[in-house]
Chain A
Amino acid sequence: MAETVSERQIGDVVLDLRNISLAFGGVNALSDISFDVREHEIRAIIGPNGAGKSSMLNVINGVYQPQQGEVVLRGQRFEKMSPGHAARAGIARTFQNIALFKGMSVLDNIMTGRNLKMKSNILQQAVWWGPAQREELAHREKVEEIIDFLEIQHIRKTPVGRLPYGLQKRVDLGRALAMEPSILLLDEPMAGMNIEEKQDMSRFILDVNDQLGTTIVLIEHDMGVVMDISDRIVVLDYGKKIGDDTPDEVRANPEVIAAYLGASH
């Protein structure tokens, strides 16, 4: 792909979450959680089921509004982040339950990720004339680069609904990448995959991070994967933060072991 960083270097804090608390009625989903994400790093959020991991991602891209706390994105403070604003600020995400158009081809699905970048109006697009045509060709080129990057040329024209689960996940990643995000949120990118598919997905995540310089925040259950690819890990348990460190330190943290990893680790 065109823009590549010269060297993968973890930079300054780009996203800072300060004292986030989120409750649904009487249930505290997140209580007083703070952590930051640095530029170009792979940041993992782990925790048992119901620990509040997905809620955390939803707070980051503005789907949920926390009752307390603030999100600081590149120095700009948001008490209320909205999904639209998050998208315009370069935050893209994939979903635990794949959110693609099943009847549309892989190519068209990834093209929808370019929606935000399209400048021509609906009338111009409808008649596919002048600037709209040029624009679509340029976007198509970008989408082809993503298809090449994710090695899904052979299913370019296949309706997404006909694809096996592992490939759908890859297309979902492609759709998120089409936004050319600076921060990518991945909600369980390897759920339900076999070992080979997990290896492939890990490699794509590393490639995205390395070659496109994208900062990645991911939720994942597979400890092997998380420990292998993350730079730093946040551990949540029942809405509380119980650990925040490098994989090795997290692995050694007694509280984390008790809550999540179990005796076998």
Chain B
Amino acid sequence: MAATTDAAASGSALDTFPRWLLQHERVRGGKTATREKDLGIWQSWTWQQVAAETRAMAAGLAELGFQRGDHLAIIGDNRPRLYWAMCAAQMLGGIPVPLYQDAVAAEMVFALQDAEIRIAIVEDQEQVDKLLEVREQCPALAHILYDDPRGMRHYKQTCVQSVDEIVAMGGIHNRNQPEFIPGEIAQGRGDDVAIMLYTSGTTGKPKGVCQTHSALIAAATGGCSFDNISPADEILSYLPMAWVGDNLFSYAQALVAGFTVNCPESGETVMTDLREIGPTYYFAPPRVFENLLTQVMIRMEDAGAVKRGLFHYFMAVAKRCGAEILDGKPVAAADRLLYAMGNLLIYGPLRNVLGMSRIRVAYTAGAAIGPDLFRFYRSIGINLKQLYGQTETCAYVCLQPDREIEFDSVGKPAPQVEIRIAANGEILVRGPMLLKEYFKRPDATAEVIDAEGWFHTGDAGFLDAAGQLKIIDRAKDVGKLATGAMFAPNYIENKLKFFPHIKEAVAFGHDRDMVCAFVNIDMGAVGNWAERRGLAYSGYTDLAGKAEVHELIQECVEKVNAELAHDAMLAETQIHRFLILHKELDPDDDELTRTRKVRRSFIAEKYGVLIDALYAGKASQYIETVVKFEDGRSGKVAADLGIRDVKTFPAGAAAKQAA
């Protein structure tokens, strides 16, 4: 391979992932590339070992008849072998297709048929069983290769083999024909499809998103240079491999930057493994951060009085100045001193417990993150940032730059990415990281990429004065007030729901002259609040009807209004009137979807009388509703609902007043 060194090392030739792997094998062959905890011990593999193993796996796949352009299904938790299998397929010019490991067999059928999967590499017996179950529906499926041999001894089917066998076979192949794999790698091109990911398909069938090597490498290179990611970094890979986020962070960026990927022992040990590894680079959806915070808070409530007192005192200090110190903004010397003490006593140990002591950069994406949650992590010195992107853009559109963090924006356009806002508010994106196409769906591809090469994200948003992107809603949900101002119900509802006291909210305003809202209180949080005040109540309906609770919720709504007033584009959509519903919105009553999304039009119809009352300016409205109980019986809930007017603020001026 000596002949290729100079050309490959120059950088321009590093246009496929297998070439990056060989590059690391040459440059940092002895450095740890992958770690996995097994039998209680962290096992490691150097870049040399990974490259050799991957080459052997590739040769083994070739012996099974895997060819250029074929798709390789990969199903399982984050195991080193499964990551290597992705690269092995790419060495042969094939396309790995990771599928969600927790999907039931029937859900996998579509992807297996659509991608004409002939070979699948899976983690264990569980996945083998699923594939065997649907084998008749997928006649092309000829080989199922498993990584973990547990429980596999009695499988007599000839199509089931262990990855070990394939690797051994490939090893022999490579000894006999050492030039075969390098030759295959040499045929690879940057615009070959590197990976295919199926989008979840909330509407209609899933679509296979085809991403090329050059798109993923551009996204990975941009991200790594943006945050100065180096080979010294460490990441823990525990998110589903079929998710674009894991692909970008644990595969594309790991190969481009050459940092170490750590695979946890099992799904349940992630917290412990996180503490043991102490990653420097971290990526998680908001709910992970939320769960971590909840665990900390629960444990603090059980701690002794001194610890608890210290914790609350210093958390107040952090809330006051922690985020500013991280951003490098000016902070009073006294606060700085207090923060330094807090760092010694509370924040440092807390970061350690969370496994985040060494984190330089942490990202969250996938859903909106509550500002309080976001601020909490930043205030204890964890550089948590948001990014924005979708499967079609390699999860790479916007990143928050260090020291320019705005809590409600997703940051500035990433290197090489162009952003434009269409007339209807939709965000359009252009750049090297865009998908090549949807697999076998030229119609769908033409729908999302226009003639000028802009990708239509389907999200509505705007660029603020500082050039940072704010996402407000799905474009199709965005309406207009009668005055013509843009009305983004989800955005307003999310802002309301970020308050712990508000569980659900429904905003109305399309084609009307002002915005009004329904609110569901959070029974746990408000119940607790009421108990601490000695406020007696008999149930949800009773509690929701209390004047004190209305007072509490009104404060929340006014804070939201103050924030809305801050944005010129949204100032007109401040909430003028609200009411607290007498029952909790429930999927059993068809008011929410099973994934707990509000079904706005259904609710508008069902509670039409309440909406009329809101807009007619009434002070209260009587309503009777039939509810379904879990055992199938139904009953009636009736109440006289109070309706409140809320203070609104003049555009642009109000942020300080209510805060």
Tell me, yes or no, whether A binds B: yes
Does A49 interact with chain B (Cβ within 8 Å)? no
- A147 vs B268: C-alpha distance when bound (angstroms): 13
* Per-residue interface assignment for chain B, residues 85 to 125, with 1 indicating a CB less than 8 Å from any chain A CB and 0 otherwise: 00000000000000000000000000000000000000000
B252-299 at interface with A (beta carbon < 8 Å) = 265-266, 268-269, 272
Write out the residue numbers on chain A whose beta carbons fall within 8 Å of the beta carbon of B41.
Answer: 144
Write out the residue numbers on chain B whose beta carbons fall within 8 Å of the beta carbon of A34.
Answer: none
Across the interface, A207 reaches (CB within 8 A) one of B37, B39, B151, B272, namely B151
Across the interface, A154 reaches (CB within 8 A) one of B39, B150, B153, B266, namely B266
Does B40 interact with chain A (Cβ within 8 Å)? yes
B153 touches A141 (CB 8 A): no
B151 touches A154 (CB 8 A): no
B269 touches A145 (CB 8 A): no
A154 touches B268 (CB 8 A): yes
What residue in chain A is nearest B151 (Cβ atoms)? A207
In the complex, what's the smallest C-beta–C-beta distance from B43 to chain A, in angstroms? 12
Does A4 interact with chain B (Cβ within 8 Å)? yes
- A252 vs B154: C-alpha distance when bound (angstroms): 31
- A93 vs B269: C-alpha distance when bound (angstroms): 29
In the complex, what's the smallest C-beta–C-beta distance from B126 to chain A, in angstroms? 11
* Per-residue interface assignment for chain B, residues 34 to 47, with 1 indicating a CB less than 8 Å from any chain A CB and 0 otherwise: 00011111000000
B269 touches A154 (CB 8 A): yes
A21-53 at interface with B (beta carbon < 8 Å) = none
- A260 vs B270: C-alpha distance when bound (angstroms): 46
Write out the residue numbers on chain A whose beta carbons fall within 8 Å of the beta carbon of B37.
Answer: 153
A144 touches B151 (CB 8 A): no
Does A120 interact with chain B (Cβ within 8 Å)? no
Does A200 interact with chain B (Cβ within 8 Å)? no
Does A148 interact with chain B (Cβ within 8 Å)? yes
Write out the residue numbers on chain B whose beta carbons fall within 8 Å of the beta carbon of A140.
Answer: 40
- A208 vs B466: C-alpha distance when bound (angstroms): 63
Does A211 interact with chain B (Cβ within 8 Å)? yes
Across the interface, A211 reaches (CB within 8 A) one of B40, B151, B269, namely B151
B272 touches A144 (CB 8 A): no
B134-170 at interface with A (beta carbon < 8 Å) = 150-151, 153-154
What residue in chain B is nearest A149 (Cβ atoms)? B150
In the complex, what's the smallest C-beta–C-beta distance from B262 to chain A, in angstroms? 15
B266 touches A153 (CB 8 A): yes
Across the interface, A153 reaches (CB within 8 A) one of B153, B154, B269, namely B269
Interface residues on B, range: 10 to 19
* Per-residue interface assignment for chain A, residues 144 to 168, with 1 indicating a CB less than 8 Å from any chain B CB and 0 otherwise: 1101110101101100000000000
A211 touches B266 (CB 8 A): no
B40 touches A144 (CB 8 A): yes
A156 touches B40 (CB 8 A): yes
Write out the residue numbers on chain A whose beta carbons fall within 8 Å of the beta carbon of B265.
Answer: 153-154
B39 touches A144 (CB 8 A): yes
- A59 vs B150: C-alpha distance when bound (angstroms): 35
In the complex, what's the smallest C-beta–C-beta distance from B77 to chain A, in angstroms? 12
Q: Main SS of chain A's interface residues?
A: helix
B268 touches A145 (CB 8 A): no
In the complex, what's the smallest C-beta–C-beta distance from A63 to chain B, in angstroms? 34
A145 touches B153 (CB 8 A): no
* Per-residue interface assignment for chain B, residues 411 to 424, with 1 indicating a CB less than 8 Å from any chain A CB and 0 otherwise: 00000000000000
- A145 vs B39: C-alpha distance when bound (angstroms): 6
B272 touches A4 (CB 8 A): no
- A151 vs B267: C-alpha distance when bound (angstroms): 11
A211 touches B153 (CB 8 A): yes
Write out the residue numbers on chain B whose beta carbons fall within 8 Å of the beta carbon of A207.
Answer: 150-151
B39 touches A141 (CB 8 A): yes
Given A153-B266, A153-B268, A153-B269 in contact, is the A147-B151 Cβ separation under 8 Å?
no
Write out the residue numbers on chain B whose beta carbons fall within 8 Å of the beta carbon of A149.
Answer: 150
Write out the residue numbers on chain A whose beta carbons fall within 8 Å of the beta carbon of B268.
Answer: 153-154
What residue in chain A is nearest B41 (Cβ atoms)? A144
In the complex, what's the smallest C-beta–C-beta distance from B38 to chain A, in angstroms? 8
In the complex, what's the smallest C-beta–C-beta distance from B149 to chain A, in angstroms? 10
* Per-residue interface assignment for chain A, residues 62 to 89, with 1 indicating a CB less than 8 Å from any chain B CB and 0 otherwise: 0000000000000000000000000000
What residue in chain B is nearest A143 (Cβ atoms)? B40
* Per-residue interface assignment for chain A, residues 89 to 128, with 1 indicating a CB less than 8 Å from any chain B CB and 0 otherwise: 0000000000000000000000000000000000000000
Write out the residue numbers on chain B whose beta carbons fall within 8 Å of the beta carbon of A154.
Answer: 265-266, 268-269, 272
Write out the residue numbers on chain A whose beta carbons fall within 8 Å of the beta carbon of B150.
Answer: 149, 207, 211
- A41 vs B7: C-alpha distance when bound (angstroms): 64
In the complex, what's the smallest C-beta–C-beta distance from B153 to chain A, in angstroms? 7
Write out the residue numbers on chain B whose beta carbons fall within 8 Å of the beta carbon of A157.
Answer: 272
Which of A151, A154, A156 lies at the interface centre, i.e. has the most chain B CB atoms within 10 A of its CB? A154
* Per-residue interface assignment for chain B, residues 19 to 57, with 1 indicating a CB less than 8 Å from any chain A CB and 0 otherwise: 000000000000000000111110000000000000000
In the complex, what's the smallest C-beta–C-beta distance from A182 to chain B, in angstroms? 19
- A147 vs B41: C-alpha distance when bound (angstroms): 12
A4 touches B269 (CB 8 A): no
Write out the residue numbers on chain A whose beta carbons fall within 8 Å of the beta carbon of B269.
Answer: 153-154
Write out the residue numbers on chain B whose beta carbons fall within 8 Å of the beta carbon of A151.
Answer: 266
B39 touches A4 (CB 8 A): no
Write 25 A-B pairs (CB below 8 A) sorted by A numbering: A4-B153, A140-B40, A144-B40, A144-B41, A145-B39, A147-B39, A148-B38, A148-B39, A151-B266, A153-B37, A153-B40, A153-B265, A153-B266, A153-B268, A154-B265, A154-B266, A154-B268, A154-B269, A154-B272, A207-B150, A210-B151, A210-B153, A211-B150, A211-B151, A211-B153
Interchain residue pairs A-B with the least CB separation, the first 9: A154-B268, A144-B39, A154-B269, A144-B40, A153-B265, A153-B269, A153-B266, A148-B39, A154-B266
